């Protein structure tokens, strides 16, 4: 087998991996601040998809303006969900699981009732392909991947340097100690949940033209995000990026040798293997 | 709420459960409702055994997979090997329990959300395995069909048959009552006490000389054995999706809404939520919307589950606090 084919397979695998990393980063950010797993995360992704459909495909807004709008709108929806529901569930993992499940059903049913059950196609903003070094990639996927990388970088800078970002990291490390230092836990919790959802919304906006928009579209990226988080370690941002690259390369290379069903089994087997070697994920803390 | 340790309470609870199980088919002989009733009993066995695992502080998302393993094992033993259902039932349960050793042993190396996610990964591997591999054995995506009903049993010179819905209900009822008796007995034993200690603080329990891992693994294997029985009890058709995330999530909903602090929590949760689900069926499109709202409000209003609610209300009344949440 030629090296070109292997590299091309890797590139195909990486193609959408960065978008799934965005979804995973949202999940892991919410987990590290509120200690809950938000099962309705994929529904915020779905919301981003519908915002994109209406703003871009129906009203004809600019692609990148649409993306920004989707991120803001879904982030706002996340803040509302946190204030109304999730702030009462901080640290109650089991209860939050049930509640987020309820929210998942509510959001999916609302989407079905208001947008219909049928897939809504979103036209591609970019066409054509790029050839370089004997490799082929579509412009659309390139833009999607690069946009995702920009968003990941923005999140990193925000958490690393900004005041609210540092407050978030402080709460993630030790909420009580952060509160004693004057960090407003309520504010950080609402902001963290909102940003987490905004990332999912951005991912939904990015993938809306790649796949179609539908009420159940959130299931696949969330499963991938879970795999990424387990590999990389819960609550770790670099872990999520590495986990995404690992999953992307395993899926890309796997698709050379086996069918898509077997590839999805492969993803879960990588998870189990990773946990056997590093029970808390590659970058997980103690 | 901690379970009462008195001797009377578990006996009274079991008697109440038995009375309910006997009374249920008296209400209706309608074939649809008998199916619902049988499903309730099967889910009771599953949620009560899931709660046994939760009682050591772990939410096992692969519980439904052991039901699937029991179901496929029993079906293949009957159709391919040709042994009787009554021999296949215990063997299938033991197969589920034996597989629980390595899977539980691996998963229990981690705790909390990691455990939740790794067991979820296991359940997906098992489901995809039944769905995509050895298609001529497991039936693949179209499922395994043509599984015969249990053969007749001799009973004091008569033959006990298992062909009608009522007879199949009776079989599940007998299996459930035995299971419930064992699980309730376990709850009120030294094992139940230690499990509760582990849930409240596994480090503390470990320093007091409790082998936490062994207790968790025991709960895992016993729970999987029960799930294997529930799976093997009798299906005429098997689909891998019956053992996927969706039914698993319902089991967790039943268990947590009912309350994990008491052995009776899953019973209350399973019965009430199934009835609620049947009533909501009338709403058609709005069914899952309303069900979701019910879940959210119940969890916010009764965070320790429905069985903890009477005690909580009584305490509030004594303290003279208003009932507004």
Domain that includes residue B124, residue range: 29-240
Determine contact: B288 vs chain A, CB below 8 A: yes
Q: Please report whether residue B234 resides in a domain.
A: yes
Q: Please report whether residue B224 resides in a domain.
A: yes
pLDDT > 80? residue B321:
no
Q: Please report whether residue A252 resides in a domain.
A: no
pLDDT tens digits for range A218-236: 888 998 898 888 888 777 8
For chain A, which ranges sit under pLDDT 70? 1, 279-286
Cβ contact, residue pair B118, A268, below 8 Å: no
Q: Please report whether residue B24 resides in a domain.
A: no
The reported pLDDT for the residue numbered B320 is 62
The band of B5, judged by pLDDT with boundaries at 50, 70 and 90, is very low
**Rg of the Cα trace of chain A?**
19
The reported pLDDT for the residue numbered B155 is 75
Backbone φ and ψ for A213, nearest 5 degrees, come out as -95, 130
pLDDT tens digits for range B155-213: 777 777 787 888 888 888 889 999 999 998 888 888 888 888 888 887 888 888 888 88
Q: Please report whether residue A7 resides in a domain.
A: no
pLDDT tens digits for range B74-105: 999 988 888 888 888 999 999 999 999 999 98
Domains held by chain B: number: 1
B212's torsion region: left (phi>0), alpha (psi -120 to 50) or beta? Answer: alpha
Cβ contact, residue pair A226, B112, below 8 Å: no
Most confident among A190-199, B46-55, B121-130, B309-318 (mean pLDDT): A190-199
Report d(CA A92, CA A35) in Å as an integer.
7
Report d(CA A45, CA A42) in Å as an integer.
5
Cβ contact, residue pair A223, B124, below 8 Å: yes
Q: Which residues of B touch A88 (CB under 8 A)?
A: 300
pLDDT > 80? residue B3:
no
Q: Which residues of B touch A276 (CB under 8 A)?
A: 106, 109
Q: Please report whether residue A121 resides in a domain.
A: yes
Q: Please report whether residue B73 resides in a domain.
A: yes
Q: Please report whether residue B37 resides in a domain.
A: yes
- Of B18 and B146, the structure prediction assigns the larger pLDDT to B18
The band of B230, judged by pLDDT with boundaries at 50, 70 and 90, is very high
The reported pLDDT for the residue numbered A281 is 67
Q: Which residues of B touch A230 (CB under 8 A)?
A: 114, 117-118, 121
Determine contact: B125 vs chain A, CB below 8 A: yes
Q: Please report whether residue B259 resides in a domain.
A: no
Domain that includes residue A94, residue range: 15-216
- Of B216 and A136, the structure prediction assigns the larger pLDDT to B216
The reported pLDDT for the residue numbered A271 is 77
Q: Which helix (H) or strand (E) holds A103?
A: helix A93-115
Q: Please report whether residue A43 resides in a domain.
A: yes
Report the C-alpha dihedral over residues A194, A68, A241, A231, rounded to 10 degrees. Answer: 50
Domains held by chain A: number: 1
pLDDT > 80? residue B153:
no
Determine contact: B109 vs chain A, CB below 8 A: yes
The reported pLDDT for the residue numbered A1 is 57
pTM above 0.80, yes or no: yes
Q: Which residues of B touch A103 (CB under 8 A)?
A: 292, 296
Portion of chain B with pLDDT greater than 90, in percent: 22
Q: Report whether A51 contacts A73 (CB < 8 A).
A: yes
The reported pLDDT for the residue numbered A46 is 95
Q: Please report whether residue A257 resides in a domain.
A: no
Separation of first and last alpha carbons in chain A: 42
pLDDT tens digits for range B284-308: 778 888 888 988 998 888 888 888 8
């Amino acid at each position: 087998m030629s090296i070109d084919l292997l590299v091309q397979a890797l590139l195909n695998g990486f193609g959408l991996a960065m978008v799934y990393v965005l979804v995973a980063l949202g999940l892991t950010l919410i987990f590290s601040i509120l200690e809950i797993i938000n099962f309705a995360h994929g529904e915020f992704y779905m919301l981003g998809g519908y915002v994109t459909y209406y703003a871009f495909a129906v009203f004809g807004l600019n692609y990148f303006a649409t993306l920004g709008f989707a991120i803001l709108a879904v982030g706002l929806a996340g803040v509302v969900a946190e204030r109304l529901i999730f702030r009462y569930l901080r640290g109650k993992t089991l209860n939050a699981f049930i509640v987020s499940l309820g929210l998942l059903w509510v959001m999916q049913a609302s989407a079905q009732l208001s947008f219909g059950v049928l897939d809504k196609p979103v036209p591609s903003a970019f066409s054509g392909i790029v050839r370089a070094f004997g490799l082929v990639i579509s412009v659309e996927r390139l833009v999607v991947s690069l946009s995702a990388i920009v968003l990941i970088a923005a999140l990193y800078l925000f958490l690393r340097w900004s005041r609210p970002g540092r407050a978030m990291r402080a709460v993630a490390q030790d909420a009580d100690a952060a509160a004693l230092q004057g960090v407003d836990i309520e504010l950080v919790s609402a902001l963290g949940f909102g940003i987490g959802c905004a990332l999912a919304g951005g991912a939904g906006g990015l993938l809306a033209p790649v796949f179609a928009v539908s009420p159940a579209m959130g299931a696949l990226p969330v499963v991938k995000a879970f795999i990424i988080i387990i590999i990389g370690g819960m609550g770790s941002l670099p872990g999520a990026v590495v986990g995404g690259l690992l999953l992307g390369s395993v899926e890309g290379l796997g698709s050379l040798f086996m069918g898509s069903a077997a590839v999805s089994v492969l993803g879960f087997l990588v998870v189990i293997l990773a946990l056997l070697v590093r029970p808390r994920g590659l970058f997980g803390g103690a | 709420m901690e379970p009462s340790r008195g001797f009377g309470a578990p006996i009274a609870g079991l008697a109440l459960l038995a009375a309910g199980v006997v009374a249920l088919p008296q209400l209706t002989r309608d074939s649809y409702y008998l199916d619902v009733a049988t499903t309730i009993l099967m889910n009771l066995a599953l949620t009560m055994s899931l709660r046994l695992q939760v009682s050591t502080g772990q939410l096992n998302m692969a519980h439904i997979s052991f039901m699937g393993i029991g179901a496929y094992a029993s079906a293949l033993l009957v159709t391919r090997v040709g042994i009787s259902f009554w021999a296949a039932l215990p063997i299938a349960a033991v197969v589920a329990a034996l597989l629980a050793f390595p899977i539980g042993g691996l998963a229990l190396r981690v705790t909390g959300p990691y455990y939740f996610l790794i067991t979820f990964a296991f359940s997906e591997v098992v489901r995809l395995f039944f769905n995509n591999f050895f298609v001529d054995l497991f039936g693949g995506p179209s499922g395994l069909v043509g599984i015969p009903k249990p053969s007749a049993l001799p009973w004091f010179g008569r033959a006990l048959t298992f062909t009608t819905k009522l007879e199949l209900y009776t079989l599940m009822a007998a299996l459930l009552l035995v299971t419930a008796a064992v699980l309730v007995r376990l709850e009120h034993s030294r094992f139940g006490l230690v499990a509760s200690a582990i849930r409240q603080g596994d480090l503390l329990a470990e320093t007091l000389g409790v082998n936490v891992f062994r207790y968790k693994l025991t709960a895992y294997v016993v729970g999987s054995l029960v799930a294997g029985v529930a799976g093997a009890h009798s299906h005429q058709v098997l689909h891998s999706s019956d053992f996927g995330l969706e039914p698993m999530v319902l089991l967790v909903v039943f268990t947590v809404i009912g309350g994990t602090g008491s052995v009776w929590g899953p019973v209350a949760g399973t019965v009430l939520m199934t009835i609620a689900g049947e009533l909501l069926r009338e709403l058609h499109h709005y069914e899952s919307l309303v069900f979701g709202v019910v879940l959210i409000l119940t969890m916010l209003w009764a965070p320790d589950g429905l069985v903890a609610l009477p005690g909580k209300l009584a305490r509030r009344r004594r303290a003279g606090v208003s009932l507004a949440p």
